[in-house]
């Protein structure tokens, strides 16, 4: 390699590195900024000028978050729906996928047509609302969990995963007299841990972040989710200088804005801890999803 080419290479390497560093900063700094503000005294934050670290360190925003029954309840609802929603979603989707993974299954063409068609077409929000109302899910906790239990996207992924499992495993279970459910429960699920972990984590993130169903289908104040509460604050503070500036009570330094910041950190933190471990499952999942779905 001659000198001029090496020079060019060096220039290009530097340009690439600088652009990537800028992108990384743009991705990370907003989260960091929210984090430091959430540990800063709320009334002090309104003055601005905080860039790198909190100026007036305090935990009272988090204390206020935990002491506010509305936020606290929303947090609990979100935790419960995340755990139960992803657990039930994984179980049902895997169970249905296990049935469909048998190549000798009768009517499987019919079943698959039903699934693919449902992936492409939907009735839209309004008829869906009427259906939820008529099955009694409206304004109940079940609306967060039951309609999303069967994921057509993960159904296809799980089917192809189960088809890779060596048939001998199932054969030996049948020989021992196990029926299909026992085989599924005792043999198939334990060897499908990577699949289950991926599904649970993706469904869990979806449940954790969800607010649209709470806005559409729920009126009760007791069933609001964390993301819904944050949405409410955003909607209120659209009128400038309204909710943002108002301190919660005269004596404390907490504002509804700083309370919102601590809620945002509570909402972001578990995701930041979990998502880097999902990486190895992504590519397979996206590829399969985009080819079939």
Partner 1 sequence: MNMDSRAMEAVNSEQGRIWKRFKKQWMLHLFVGIGMIFLIVFSYTPMFGIIMAFKNYTISEGIIGIFTSEWVGLKHFDEFINDYQFGTIVRNTLALSLLKVLFTFPAPILLAILLNEVKNGAFKRFAQTVSYLPHFISWVVVVGISFAFLSTDIGLVNKALLRLGLIDMPLDILTNPDYFWGLAVGSAVWKEMGWWTIIFLAAITGINPSLYEAAKIDGAGRLARIRHITLPGMQGTIVVVLILTIGSILGGGLVGSNFEQAFLFGNSINNPTSEIVQTYAFKVGLKDGRFSYAAAIDLIQSVISVALIFSSNYIAKRISGSGLF
Instruction: Give the footprint of partner 1 on residues 58-117 (CB under 8 A).
Output: 92, 95-96, 98-100, 102, 104-107, 111, 114-115
34 binds partner 1 (CB under 8 A): yes
User: Which residues from 3-32 bind partner 1, rule CB under 8 A?
Assistant: 5, 8-9, 12-13, 16-17, 19-20, 23-24, 26-28, 30-31
Cβ 208 vs Cβ 78: under 8 Å: yes
Residues 6+ apart with CB under 8 A from 72: 65, 66
Size of the site for partner 1 (CB under 8 A): 101
Q: x/- string (CB under 8 A) for partner 1, residues 137-156?
A: ----------x-xx-x--x-
Reduce the DSSP state of residue 40 to 3 states and report it.
strand
- Of 218, 257, 259, 262, the one binding partner 1 by CB under 8 A: 257
Transcribe 187-205 into DSSP letters. IIHHHTHHHHHHHHHHHHH
Cβ 161 vs Cβ 94: under 8 Å: no
Beta-carbon count within 10 A of 124 CB: 8
Q: How far apart are CA 11 and CA 17, in angstroms?
A: 10
Quote the tokens at residue 68: 């506010």
User: Which residues from 181-240 bind partner 1, rule CB under 8 A?
Assistant: 181, 184, 205, 208-212, 216, 227-228, 230-231, 233-235, 237-240
- Of 52, 109, 120, 250, the one binding partner 1 by CB under 8 A: 120
Task: Considering the complex, state which of residue 1 and residue 193 has its C-beta at the smaller distance from partner 1.
Answer: 1
Residues 6+ apart with CB under 8 A from 135: none
261 binds partner 1 (CB under 8 A): yes
CB of 161 to partner 1, least distance (A): 16
């Amino acid at each position: 390699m001659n000198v001029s080419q090496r020079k060019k290479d060096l220039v290009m390497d530097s340009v690439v590195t600088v652009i990537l560093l800028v992108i990384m900063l743009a991705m990370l700094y907003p989260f960091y900024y929210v984090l430091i503000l959430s540990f800063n005294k709320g009334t002090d934050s309104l003055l601005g000028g905080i860039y790198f670290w909190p100026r007036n360190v305090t935990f009272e925003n988090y204390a206020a978050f935990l002491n506010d029954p509305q936020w606290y309840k929303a947090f609990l609802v979100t935790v419960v729906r995340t755990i139960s929603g992803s657990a039930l979603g994984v179980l049902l989707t895997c169970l249905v996928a296990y049935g469909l993974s048998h190549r000798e299954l009768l009517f499987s063409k019919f079943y698959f047509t039903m699934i693919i068609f449902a992936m492409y077409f939907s009735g839209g929000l309004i008829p869906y609302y009427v259906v939820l109302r008529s099955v009694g899910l409206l304004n109940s906790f079940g609306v967060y969990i039951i309609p999303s239990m069967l994921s057509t996207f993960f159904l296809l992924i799980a089917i192809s995963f189960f088809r890779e499992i060596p048939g001998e495993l199932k054969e030996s279970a049948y020989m021992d007299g196990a029926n299909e459910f026992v085989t599924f429960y005792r043999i198939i699920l334990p060897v499908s841990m990577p699949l289950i972990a991926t599904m649970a984590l993706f469904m869990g993130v979806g449940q954790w972040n969800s607010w649209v169903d709470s806005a559409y289908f729920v009126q009760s104040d007791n069933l609001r989710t964390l993301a819904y509460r944050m949405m409410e604050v955003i909607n209120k503070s659209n009128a400038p200088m309204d909710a943002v500036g108002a301190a919660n009570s005269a004596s404390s330094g907490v504002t509804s804005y700083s309370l919102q910041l601590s809620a945002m950190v509570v909402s972001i933190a578990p995701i930041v801890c979990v998502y880097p471990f999902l990486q190895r499952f992504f590519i397979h999942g996206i590829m399969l999803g985009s080819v079939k779905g």
